[in-house]
Amino acid sequence: MEFVVKSGNPEKQRTACLVLGVYESRRLAPATEQFDAVYNSALSNLLRRGDLDGKIGQSLLLFNLADTLCERVLLIGCGKERDLDDRRFRQIASHAATALNETGATEAVVYLTDLAVRGRETDWKIRQIVEAVETARYRCDALKSKKDTPRRLLRKIILSVPRRRELPEGEQAVREGIAIAAGVKLTKDLGNLPPNLCTPTYLAEQAQALAGEFPTLRVEVLEEADMERLGMGALLAVSRGSAQPGKLIRLDYRHGLATRKPYVLVGKGVTFDTGGISLKPGEGMDEMKYDMCGAASVLGTLRACAELQLPLNVIGLIPAVENMPGGRASRPGDIVTSLSGQTIEILNTDAEGRLILCDTLTYAERDEPAAVVDIATLTGACIIALGRHPHGLFSNHPPLAHALQTAGNAACDRVWELPLWEDYQEQLDSNFADMANIGGKEGGAITAACFLSRFAKKFHWAHLDIAGTAWKTGKAKGATGRPVPLLTQYLLDRVAETEREDGRAAH
Ligand code: BES
Ligand code: MN
Ligand code: ZN
């Protein structure tokens, strides 16, 4: 899809489709009003017949309005003007994108950028529209013999900005929207792929393909023998149960000054989680193919960084394994030695995510990171605590937690912080080792984070539990691509922060 930014009057657009907003009840948005005035109230006269009163979700497609330059006008319901917030704007953008896709128009000029969203500028709205259009176009039909939608004609979208001087910011917003959408798409595709195809080896190949596409990316894959040599006893304990060899994938994005410390993203890559010897119940077990969505979001975010050529250093670390029961699988009661030297009693083999992450966190120490963020579909308990809207956030460094909250709000990919108090740590006590890998029924998302915190003492660290947010269950089952928008925004904010600091230093 091609996106172009333009400033100009709606009545002067010679286009296949003009997209205009209508508030409840039948109040016209500014551009709609202007168009209506030039064409003798053509729109308000039509609306008076009652076909659209402006509720969110409504749309009305009009053809060949007399004397106009456009072939179609697509009116989009925008709800009450006073109520228009981030969430409603996204709903409006996604309804508009779906409605546009169903027209026969090959291009369209979109004026929804003139809607007044509290606290949001034009560039924010442009980015949301770009992301919504790409989301609406997403299909996962690579493995269906008959494709879902054979005919999609829309090829070009022109986004209006109210003033010419907003063009450069609008164009940057388009670039960001496209890069984030491409990262989200990669993350969804990998998440949705079945576990017989999306193996640890496949994830490593995907990282290699990404490095082939972008010269700023370099990849290195550690094999099980390498991990053995390093002493990653926890990671290997999980990997051993599977016939698929485990991999530790390292992607290096270097595009900042060599003296700048890297941001490290660690993504849980369990390509299928049976639970191991502590086998999961059968119902819905297919969804455990999504247990590598943290890994996929790291690949998606690095893709976005590389496409935007952000002046930063970012490292992606992905422990990729399959959690299977088998003759070589670990047993409840096994004690393993982690890379950090701390010993772990594996009381439940289904708490495998923390075992592969802890060794990867220790491994991250050698890169002297500016900050480490791990992303993991870690606990069912997080879904119980927060539902499926925010990612669970934990951090040992309040400014980092705050930066992630800010980024999540801006990107509409929000987090909610849970406590990482010392009080919970004793739930991990073991009679036989330095710690157990489970902390009992209570506060399961928190004790999992407490476990990880023991391996993140040497750097600023945050943990995102994305168990409730990485995919949708039920009829619309599928990966969401989250938290690629959040992570990309976090990194965009770091670029802006560095520029501010450098500016100050120069004075
Ligand atoms: N991958 C699961 C967490 C999960 C469960 C994500 C359901 C999404 C939906 C993780 O490896 C796991 O099995 N966690 C256990 C931990 C428990 C054994 C302490 C859980 O949440 O039940
Ligand atoms: Mn598990
Ligand atoms: Zn898991």
| Domain tally, the chain | 2
Res 73 pLDDT > 80 = yes
Q: Pick from 140, 165, 190: which residue ends a domain?
A: 165
Give yes or no for a contact between 311 and 256, defined as CB atoms under 8 angstroms apart.
yes
Q: Is 189 in the pocket of ligand 1 (CB under 6 A)?
A: no
Please state the rounded mean pLDDT for residues 198-223. Answer: 98
Same domain, 148 and 234: no
Q: Pick from 135, 165, 195: which residue ends a domain?
A: 165
In a domain, 173, yes or no: no
Is residue 498 classed exposed, middle or buried when 0-12, 13-18 and 19+ CB atoms within 10 A define those classes? middle
The predicted pLDDT at position 68 comes to 94
Please state the rounded mean pLDDT for residues 187-213. Answer: 98
Is 12 marked as binding a ligand? Answer: no
Task: Give the residue, out of 271, 379, 480, with the most ligand 1 atoms within 8 A of its beta carbon, to mutate for a pocket test.
Answer: 379
Q: Pick from 120, 139, 165: which residue ends a domain?
A: 165
Give yes or no for a contact between 386 and 394, defined as CB atoms under 8 angstroms apart.
no
Same domain, 376 and 342: yes
Q: Residues of the chain with pLDDT > 90: what percent?
A: 97
The closest of 238, 262, 240 to 312, measured between CA atoms, is: 262
Atom of ligand 1 nearest to the CA of 447: 19
Please state the rounded mean pLDDT for residues 452-477. Answer: 98
In a domain, 457, yes or no: yes
Asked if omega into 483 is within 30° of 0 (cis), the reply is yes
In a domain, 142, yes or no: yes
Same domain, 146 and 192: no
Give yes or no for a contact between 190 and 209, defined as CB atoms under 8 angstroms apart.
no
Q: Is 353 in the pocket of ligand 1 (CB under 6 A)?
A: yes
Give the tens place of pLDDT for each residue, 94-130: 999 999 999 999 999 999 999 999 999 999 999 999 9
Please state the rounded mean pLDDT for residues 479-501. Answer: 97
Is 289 marked as binding a ligand? Answer: no
Q: Is 348 in the pocket of ligand 1 (CB under 6 A)?
A: yes
Please state the rounded mean pLDDT for residues 473-500. Answer: 97
Res 149 pLDDT > 90 = no
d(CA 364, CA 461): 11
Res 148 pLDDT > 80 = no
Same domain, 205 and 113: no
d(CA 98, CA 352): 40
Same domain, 160 and 187: no
d(CA 96, CA 29): 15
The predicted pLDDT at position 28 comes to 98
Task: Provide the domain limits for residue 96.
Answer: 2-165
pLDDT band for position 74 (cuts 50, 70, 90): very high
Same domain, 75 and 198: no
Q: Is 379 in the pocket of ligand 1 (CB under 6 A)?
A: yes
In a domain, 172, yes or no: no
pLDDT band for position 474 (cuts 50, 70, 90): very high
Give yes or no for a contact between 39 and 65, defined as CB atoms under 8 angstroms apart.
yes
Same domain, 81 and 204: no
Q: What residue has token string 């195809």?
A: 197
CATH classification at residue 18: 3.40.220.10
In a domain, 340, yes or no: yes
Res 150 pLDDT > 70 = no
Same domain, 62 and 150: yes
Among 143-157, 356-370, 418-432, the least confident range: 143-157
In a domain, 460, yes or no: yes
Same domain, 152 and 268: no
In a domain, 170, yes or no: no
CA of 478 to the centre of ligand 1 (A): 18
Same domain, 257 and 114: no
CATH classification at residue 428: 3.40.630.10
DSSP states of 324-351? --STTS--TTEEEE-TTS-EEEES-TT-
Same domain, 142 and 196: no
The predicted pLDDT at position 152 comes to 74
In a domain, 265, yes or no: yes
Same domain, 66 and 125: yes
